[in-house]
Amino acid sequence: MARYGNTRGTDVSAVEAVIRHLVPRIFIGLPAAVAQLDEDASHNAFKLLVGVHHALDLLQNAGFSKDWLVTLEKIALAKHTSELLCGACTRILFDQRHFDEEKTEKLMHYALSPATPPMRAAAWLEGFLQGSAQLLLHQQELWKLLDGWVADLNEEYFPQVLPVLRRTFSRYSDAERQRLLKLAMHGPVLTEGLKSEELLPDLEQDALGLVRLILCGE
């Protein structure tokens, strides 16, 4: 309403006044409000955060947009914020070009490092991979980081993170999942000195079956 009005020609000045008062308070209080949340609360906060981002995008207010990105950066880099929210904020900051490729790769590398418990890393990925699959389809280094992390999961942790990965990729369109499947089949080098076309047939089928399980739930 604040941007487009309505068919009745309602005076939106009161709405604009509320927005001018409320939005800065959100920026100030949000980093502390989302700190140290449990899993359920983090998922609720994730939905609200994405909703606020879309609402601010509609307003097209340059001042709000700048302050919002600063707020998201505080959350993305916070030590006591859930990985889901850190990943989500990192993705938005990359999409808005507030974080460049190098910065984003460093944060993803840190989030997926061996020192990070697999379930926490999976939560970061769930937030980071929100929206469309274009990020993975066009940013090869990010794809390689994800590919290497999944490949290094052992038999104990893989079943634990599988539901998170499947939930994450299920949000993509069928066409996007098929393109990711092709990328997995014909993409970057899988191991040192071993390309996908050099895999033994049985190993290749096992690998493709695993990828289909994650991407397509098959």
Confidence category of residue 195, pLDDT binned at 50, 70, 90 = very low
Question: Is 129 within the bounds of a domain?
Answer: yes
pLDDT band at 93 (very low <50, low <70, confident <90, very high): very high
* Structural domain count, the chain: 2
Verify that 88 and 164 share a domain, yes or no: no
The reply to whether 151 falls in a domain is yes
pLDDT band at 58 (very low <50, low <70, confident <90, very high): very high
Q: Tell me, what's the pLDDT at 193?
A: 43
Query: pLDDT-based confidence at 12, cuts 50/70/90?
Result: confident
Does residue 106 fall inside a structural domain? Answer: no
pTM: 0.83
d(CA 15, CA 12): 5
Binned at pLDDT 50, 70 and 90, residue 205 comes out as: low
Question: Do residues 128 and 93 both lie within one domain?
Answer: no
Q: Using pLDDT thresholds of 50, 70 and 90, give the confidence band for residue 102.
A: very high
Domain around 202: 120-218
What CA–CA distance (Å, rounded) separates 157 from 196?
24
Over residues 46-65, the mean pLDDT reads: 95
Same domain membership, residue 90 and residue 29: yes
Greatest Cα-to-Cα distance within the chain, rounded to the nearest angstrom: 69
Say yes or no: 86 and 36 in one domain. Answer: yes
Residue 72 lies in a domain: yes
Q: Residue 115 domain-assigned?
A: no
Whether 69 and 138 share a structural domain: no
Instruction: Please give the pLDDT value at position 132.
Output: 87
Residue 31 has pLDDT above 80, yes or no: yes
- How many CB atoms are located within 10 Å of the residue 118 CB? 19
CB contact at 8 A, 182 and 136 = no
d(CA 197, CA 103): 32
Q: Would 18 be classed as within a structural domain?
A: yes
